[in-house]
């Protein structure tokens, strides 16, 4: 009788302890994964803003080549950013005197909302333009964009970008 009774009550599913262990493991994984995914989404929105700045970069590049320097303003480039209902992550894209482009983001999440990213043209001559990207400085000494050795910046940075570096592309982090 005893043998048949123990065979009848064998465990066939999860116990409460096993279930609690699984829930704890899933909780720890979610605690790590959710913030990383949020940062990934913000970086994707920043990348969209950089792509939307491509026409502004083209306008600045053409103006530098045509004028042979940076003595111009946004009106001389003929560029005007027009926001639309389809563009929700970028508020504005402006060109400062000398060609520095400022991308102002909208509500992109985290502490990246309403922040700016700068693209500054740099060249040894007007026909070879390199774009330098600038996020918020990480240290007190980082107030201007870094330039490659022997490459003077064409347009001085008129203001410092405010987008936190963790949301900027790798080449924008100083």
- Over 70: is that where the pLDDT of 14 sits? yes
pLDDT the model gives residue 149:
44
- Over 90: is that where the pLDDT of 57 sits? yes
Q: Where are any strands of DSSP class E within 28-152?
A: 90-95, 101-105, 116-123, 129-134
pLDDT tens for each residue of 130-159: 889 998 887 644 444 444 444 444 444 457
| Domain 39-172 classification at class level | alpha beta
If we measure between CA atoms, which residue out of 53, 64, 54, 56 comes closest to residue 98?
64
Q: Please give the structure tokens belonging to residue 127.
A: 């026909």
Counted residue by residue, the chain has a size of 174
pLDDT the model gives residue 68:
76
Q: What 8-state DSSP symbol labels residue 163?
A: S
Phi, psi of 142 (to 5 degrees): -90, 80
3 state DSSP class of 19 = helix
Alpha helices for 53-97 (secondary structure H): 54-67, 74-77
Residue extents of the structural domains in the chain:
39-172
Q: What is the pTM of this model?
A: 0.74
For range 68-75, the mean pLDDT? 77
């Amino acid at each position: 009788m005893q043998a048949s009774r123990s065979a009848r009550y064998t465990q066939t599913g999860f116990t409460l302890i096993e279930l609690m262990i699984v829930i704890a493991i899933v909780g720890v994984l979610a605690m790590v994964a959710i913030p990383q995914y949020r940062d990934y989404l913000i970086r994707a929105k920043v990348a969209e803003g950089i792509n939307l700045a491509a026409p502004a970069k083209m306008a600045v590049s053409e103006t530098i080549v045509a004028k042979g320097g940076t003595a111009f303003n946004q009106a001389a480039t003929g560029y005007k950013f027009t926001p639309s209902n389809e563009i929700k992550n970028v508020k504005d894209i402006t060109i400062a005197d000398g060609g520095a482009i400022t991308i102002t983001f909208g509500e992109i999440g985290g502490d990246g909302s309403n922040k700016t990213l700068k693209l500054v043209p740099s060249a040894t001559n007007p026909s070879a333009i390199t774009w330098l990207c600038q996020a918020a400085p990480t240290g007190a000494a980082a107030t201007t964009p870094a330039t490659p050795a022997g490459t003077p910046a064409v347009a001085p940075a008129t203001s410092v970008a405010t987008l936190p570096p963790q949301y900027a592309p790798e080449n924008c982090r100083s």
